[in-house]
Structure 1
């Protein structure tokens, strides 16, 4: 009982004492593993190319500074969740901040963002299979296979059930980047490493959005916390995540760029020789799939909770029991998400620019700006330390700036790409393996 109200009435999953399906079962280290698998997978693959675009010094500064800010914004998101236990996703947060209109705006934005992330995983899986097999089959077939595998692995109803896959995902990406670093070391220094860089605004900021995307796991944090055994342990998971991913981004970015030089490509696994590149992509397949599964699961859970949670805070038996209606609805939602992801992967057949667009539109707010709004909501006027208010006000403004500048840079890059004819046509069988 808290302030005269039963806490479980405001918890998204209600009272689980008699539930057949129990959601709130994750220890903090399982949440950390999920967060690491979700965040590092595709993010780490674009970091070396950012160092190539911006130079070694700017790359290191960006990784450290944006990682530090992402830690602060993640912590504030956790505090918001503790203040409002019923908040399960950005739609619920929008309802708290601004009523039904903001619930629909933030909920729609979260769904679109997560589906686009799933699409980027299908696209990366397609590239991986084409690289491994030397384009032995139509690339559309590989996209279908990736989407189908991701769909099947998304079906477990709880994040605790998926958390074990995250261990395999982490081992997979670590092995892949280790192979890549060994490979570029064997090839030797290619020259052309720059301490600084001279780029136009559009190309420079497009590289910045790749780092922003590398810390863009915040979109799923509220859902992760909702399935933790003790939400107060979230800071432990957050710190474990941020220390690990910042360290990994620095090591991989510096090492790969130091050896590959001006020829650094994205995804990072393409910087080795032909044979090692195929091996690295084969080893990376689990993380490409599992990280996509985690994002797909969070997206499906948002829709599932929206369908079966009542306005009074109670939950339908279809959410907590093994009913036919519950399972058909869940599987149908998962299938719809991965079908859309497949279409996105085929219609938008480019890697960095896809990351740039979705980072500009959504990661700018979910990772940075929205946490500033959370802070102001948690600290009413008159109780705000001035220095902190200035900092969080700057975070909100930074979110708006990143969105506008990132969209401009991404659209500019896409226009240039189509003008030069460097993108394949939609649903094309052309081999997209990294040469």
Structure 2
């Protein structure tokens, strides 16, 4: 096992994790040189076309969280809800393009940890902090997908087995599917993932439209809370914590940038990433707004998260929710791949095993991947409410990886000319707003998420490693 990455003094270029060093003149290595070096390895990472990167992005983003947006609309109402969705999409595009520009100037960046290192002035603390945040965020998200897999299996089988067994099944399936080492191979799975989630959404919309009434909502069975209705603004009595969690739910869906540096690093032409991003943005703009809006129209105040739970006919619920098992596992695979690479290259360094088909190389990779899924399984069993913990993730992690990091990156790119012209001045003002959004999520947003979790605990929670039925 090689030693952890070294950090030379500040007069030298850093030697980070699996990042290739500078050339003899001290200039940053070009993408051409990095790709040429990678293609000399037995296992080549930098092989994705922009089309495959677009599939990978779609596979990651077309997910179950879309079906929680109907609930967000039911809390916020049409006006604040749609404004939040559109604004989140605009900020997503702007920050993602800034990330890409920054990486184009620093080709040696291989993941969000390297990105944080350079953005914050080659800070070792920033690197280690980013690494911790990367693993914490991704492993908790994988745990959420393990729990979701157990919910799907519970729902389809009418709770034929203990829920822990279903979680074990989902964990084992995810571990096996995660064995491919390149995102180029994972992108192939993403095609089927996005397609299955699309079918699930379409079936949900059809069933929500043709059924007579929803089954239930958080305020009781239909029609306990009256006939289905929609509204422009939050209903009277809606508390601030609920509204904040609804906004965090929307933000969580739109902020996957923690993965983007790794995606860019595995492209054969990283400069083509904006093409992939444009495809994702068009898909997301439609799927993140239109299906939730239609769902809110038919479910109204009876909307649940995910919205499948509100369907009134059990057969409808099973038919639509069944397709979610594929994206549940594949998205877990994507997050596991990015997480495992960070740990794997910390262990293997630049040894020949890191990029070769050796027994040691594959053995360490499999062990790291199994360890990540095992930890995620534990989290899936001990966390009482993954929904509220996703709000906590959004506040704690997305505040940095969706807003603050990119506001700092923008400042690094344009310092000294932040107000050079009308266009640059406008963008600078936008990035001041982006920084404020990040700090707001980290402050009041984090407080709201914690309050929701406290409320869960006070109302009784699911015991750890419980066999209780989690069917929706």
Q: TM-score range by the shorter chain?
A: over 0.9
Which of 238, 245, 268 aligns to 1:206? It is 245
Which of 177, 192, 196 aligns to 2:233? It is 196
Q: CA deviation at 1:393?
A: 2.2
- The C-alpha deviation readout for 1:64-123, integer Å capped at 9, x for no partner, is 111111110111111111111111112212221242111101111111111111111111
Distance 2:48 2:23 in 1: 23
- The C-alpha deviation readout for 1:110-155, integer Å capped at 9, x for no partner, is 1111111111111111111111111111001111111111111111
**In the alignment, structure 1 residue 348 sits paired with structure 2 residue 383:** yes
Partner of 2:344: 304
Identify if the C-alpha distance between structure 1 residues 288 and 266 changes in structure 2 by more than 3 Å, giving closer, same or farther. Answer: same
Distance 1:360 1:187 in 2: 36
Answer yes or no: is the 8 Å Cα contact 2:418–2:428 preserved in 1.
Answer: no
Partner of 1:168: 192
Aligned residues: 428
Distance 1:11 1:37 in 2: 30
Identify if the C-alpha distance between structure 1 residues 155 and 420 changes in structure 2 by more than 3 Å, giving closer, same or farther. Answer: same
Identify if the C-alpha distance between structure 1 residues 130 and 11 changes in structure 2 by more than 3 Å, giving closer, same or farther. Answer: farther
**In the alignment, structure 1 residue 187 sits paired with structure 2 residue 211:** yes
Query: More helix by proportion, 1 or 2?
Result: 1
The 5 A counterparts of 1:240-319 are 240-272=279-311, 273-309=313-349, 315-319=350-354
Q: CA deviation at 1:388?
A: 2.4
Partner of 1:312: none
Distance 2:167 2:255 in 1: 24
Q: CA deviation at 1:406?
A: 2.0
Answer yes or no: is the 8 Å Cα contact 2:388–2:453 preserved in 1.
Answer: yes
Answer yes or no: is the 8 Å Cα contact 1:94–1:107 preserved in 2.
Answer: no
Distance 2:50 2:340 in 1: 22
- RMSD value over aligned CA atoms? 2.0
Which of 198, 219, 225 aligns to 2:264? It is 225
Q: Greater CA radius of gyration, 1 or 2?
A: 2
**In the alignment, structure 1 residue 54 sits paired with structure 2 residue 93:** no
The 5 A counterparts of 1:380-391 are 380-382=415-417, 384=419, 385-391=424-430
Distance 1:14 1:350 in 2: 47
- Unaligned 5+ runs, structure 2: 1-21, 214-226
Q: CA deviation at 1:378?
A: 1.4
Partner of 1:77: 99
Higher mean displacement: 425-434 or 11-20 = 11-20
**SS at 1:266 equivalent:** coil
**SS at 1:53 equivalent:** helix
Identify if the C-alpha distance between structure 1 residues 228 and 410 changes in structure 2 by more than 3 Å, giving closer, same or farther. Answer: same
**In the alignment, structure 1 residue 131 sits paired with structure 2 residue 155:** yes
Distance 2:100 2:314 in 1: 44
Partner of 2:201: 177
Distance 1:153 1:176 in 2: 21
Partner of 2:45: 23
Answer yes or no: is the 8 Å Cα contact 1:27–1:230 preserved in 2.
Answer: yes
Answer yes or no: is the 8 Å Cα contact 2:385–2:456 preserved in 1.
Answer: no
